[in-house]
Amino acid sequence: MKALKRKPYSHALDKLHEDLVALQRWIIARGQRVVVVFEGRDAAGKGGVINAILAPLNPRHARAVALPKPSEREAGQWYFQRYVAHLPAAGELVLLDRSWYNRAGVEHVMGFCSPAQYREFLVACPRFEQMLVDDGILLLKYWLAVDQAQQEERFAERASDPLKRWKISPVDLKARERYAAYGQARDAMIAATHQPSAPWFVADFNDQRRGRLDLIAHLLRQLPERLPADKPLRLPRLRTAPAREELADPGRWIKPPR
């Protein structure tokens, strides 16, 4: 299948953005709490789809969470504790760019956790997620699937682009040698944590544009309720001519370059 061109992608995304805004109105009005987990291999496209979802939304009620390596103090906490702090309040949508599933993926494959900690996670995670769902949180989990050849192509692009080079970490470079091990870890993770109240959904992200559209459309189908768009606003006419802004201490005005 040919890669989706930019123009049809942008047109389809604009329509989905309208639906996302209507969905957010429902989340806010009904006081819903929504968590969407994005997992997948390095360079799968998690950041891109999260940005596409957030682009039209009110940032006061929607945010992305991408946590760094745990601090020494966090490493001594209950494993899920630092993620709980980022869960949504009423009327909020939270998108997790990686999540507690780090323990079943990179931590397990790269040896950052013990075998006992890994086994305990696979038992505890379904219980933890069931607690979230039982408390009324709407939880969606997506695995972004990408073939090794496509992943390598994206790594090469990032390595050559100074604006994207920061996306490649030393761990990412080491992980390239363990493609099969990550696949085995993924399969074990999904088998242990796929449950009716918090199922996994797999999205094909070999074509990132097509993958974004498919995932967003699926997300909208999982949360089908939404409020109609606001009616167009009619601004009252100004009674006086627009005034130039006056500042008490303007300093230096920024001037365009010549």
- Per-residue pLDDT at 148: 92
Q: Give the distance, in angstroms, between the CA of residue 99 and the centroid of all CA atoms in the same chain.
A: 10
Q: How far apart are CA 254 and CA 80, in angstroms?
A: 47
Mean pLDDT of all residues belonging to the chain: 94
CB atoms within 10 A of CB 181: 13
Average pLDDT over residues 6-30: 96
Which residues 6+ apart lie within 8 Å of 118 measured at CB?
A: 103, 104, 107, 108
- The answer, yes or no, to whether residue 33 has pLDDT greater than 80, is yes
pLDDT band at residue 92 under the 50/70/90 scheme:
very high
Taking 3-state DSSP, the helix, strand and coil percentages for the chain, each rounded to the nearest 5, stand at: 50, 15, 40
Query: Would you put residue 98 in left (φ > 0), alpha (ψ -120 to 50) or beta?
Result: left
**Could you tell me the maximum CA-CA distance found in the chain, to the nearest angstrom?**
72
For domain 6-222, the CATH superfamily is P-loop containing nucleotide triphosphate hydrolases (3.40.50.300)
Compute the average pLDDT of residues 205-215.
97
The rounded distance, in Å, linking the Cα atoms of 198 and 142 is 11
- What's the confidence (pLDDT) of residue 247? 78
Q: In whole angstroms, what is the distance from residue 18 CA to residue 109 CA?
A: 40
Q: Using only C-alpha atoms, what is the Rg of the chain?
A: 22
Distance CA 3, CA 58 (A): 31
pLDDT tier, 110 (very low <50, low <70, confident <90, very high otherwise): very high
pLDDT of amino acid 145: 96
Tens digits of residue pLDDT in 120-173: 999 999 999 999 999 999 999 999 999 999 999 998 999 999 988 888 888 888
What confidence score (pLDDT) does residue 174 get? 85
For 43: left if phi > 0, alpha if psi spans -120 to 50, otherwise beta; the answer is left
Alpha-carbon gap, residue 31 to 151, rounded angstroms: 39
| Nearest-angstrom CA–CA distance, 109 and 112 | 8
Predicted model pTM? 0.90
Question: Which tokens sit at 208?
Answer: 């990132």
Q: What is the mean pLDDT of residues 77-93?
A: 98
Q: Mean of the pLDDT values across residues 10-23? A: 97
Q: Is the pLDDT at 250 greater than 70, yes or no?
A: no
Residue 30 dihedral angles phi and psi, to the nearest 5°: -95, 0
